[in-house]
Structure 1
Amino acid sequence: MPLTPLDIHNKEFGRSFRGYDEDEVNEFLDQVIKDYEVLIRENKDLQNQVTALQERLDHFANIEETLSKTIIVAQEAADEVKNNSKKEAQLILKEAEKNADRIINEALSRSRKIALEIEELKKQASVYRTRFKTLVEAQLELLSKDDWKALEPVESDTDNRSY
């Protein structure tokens, strides 16, 4: 157990014949007591400072740990957002591809339908042309027959009279 200033103050030395001067010893002990008390106070102050610094260090260590955890959580959240964004982009891309395929298929279907309609119209035009040609040829044939001459009016002299 360490000495206290009271221990030093209460210390009694035995007397001997040729011993030390009692006043000098007492003065020296008083000085030791004062110095010892100063050292004890300084030691307590230093211990208090160490305690305060340790508390601050613990506080900063807690802040560091909290920040570290926060950074980890933020990184995980960022990774999750990134992954979700990638998945969403893939879904959007697949949907766009589906729509593009649907639009292309509809366009191809319309194109085929229009091509069939064009072919049908060409056939109808060809049939119409053939019928019209046949009709015109029949009409020309009728016009070129001699029967028409019989239908023509005969010119008589009375028609050419001059008055």
Structure 2
Amino acid sequence: MPLTPLDIHNKEFSRSFRGYDEDEVNEFLDQVIKDYESILRENNELKEQLAALKEKLDHFANIEETLSKTIIVAQETADEVKNNSKKEAQLIIKEAEKNADRIINESLAKSRKVALEIEELKKQASIYRTRFRTLLEAQLEMLREEGWDTFEKSAVNE
């Protein structure tokens, strides 16, 4: 057990012939007591400071741990959002590709239908022209025939 200032103060030395000067010894012990009390006070202050610093250190260690966990959670959340965004983008792209394919197929089908209708109209126009030409040629032939001449003469004579 360490000495206390009171232990030093109450210490009695036995007297002997040709011993030390009692006043000198008492003065020295008083000085030792003062220094020892000062050192004990300083030691207690340092212990209190150490306890306060340990408390602050624990506080900051808790803050650091909380921040570290928060950063990890934020990183995981960011990764999750990023992955979800990629998946959503891929789904949008696939949907757009499907729509584009559907639109292209519909356009091709309409184009084929229009081409068939154009061909049909061309055939009908050709047939109409042929029939019309045939009709005109028949009418011209009728006009060229001699029967018209006689018809014209009889119509004029009447």
TM superposition score normalised by structure 2: 0.93
Runs of 4+ in 1 over 4 A off after TM superposition: none
Instruction: Report how far residue 39 of structure 1 moved.
Output: 0.6
Q: Which segments of 5 or more consecutive residues in structure 1 lack a partner in the other structure?
A: 157-163
Aligned to 1:14: 14
For 1:134-145, what aligned pairs fall within 5 Å after superposition?
A: 134-145=134-145
Structure 1 stretch displaced more, 16-25 or 77-86: 16-25
Shift in Å, 1:113: 0.4
The answer for unaligned runs of 5 or more in structure 2 is none
Q: How many angstroms does 1:18 deviate by?
A: 2.0
Aligned position for 1:96: 96
User: Secondary structure of 1:57's partner?
Assistant: helix
Distance in 2 (alpha carbons) for counterparts of 1:149 and 1:26: 177
Following the alignment from structure 1 to structure 2, what is the Cα–Cα distance between the partners of residues 133 and 151?
A: 25
Alignment match, 2:3: 3
Structure with the bigger percentage of helix: 2
Equivalent residue number for residue 24 of structure 1: 24
CA RMSD, 1 decimal = 1.5
Equivalent position SS for 1:147: helix
Amino acid paired to 2:129: R
Task: Say which SS state the counterpart of residue 153 (structure 2) adopts.
Answer: coil
**Distance between the aligned counterparts of 2:116 and 2:21, measured in 1?**
139
One-letter amino acid of the structure 2 residue matched with residue 58 of structure 1: D
Letter in 2 for 1:98: K
Residue equivalent to 1:52: 52
Tell me, in whole angstroms, the C-alpha distance in 2 between the residues paired with 1:62 and 1:77: 22
Range with bigger deviation, 116-125 or 51-60: 51-60
Counterpart residue number, 2:36: 36
1:63 pairs with 2:58: no
CA distance in 2, matches of 1:93, 1:34: 86
Matched residue SS, 1:58: helix
Normalising by structure 1, what TM-score? 0.91
Q: How far did residue 153 of structure 1 move?
A: 3.3
Deviation at 1:143, TM superposition (A): 0.7
Bigger shift: 134-143 or 108-117?
134-143
Distance in 1 between the 2:47 and 2:62 partners? 22
Matched pairs, number: 157
Does the alignment pair 1:123 with 2:84?
no
Which residue matches 1:160? none
Matches of 2:63 and 2:123 in 1, distance apart?
88
Q: Distance in 2 between matches of 1:65 and 1:76?
A: 16
Shift in Å, 1:11? 1.1
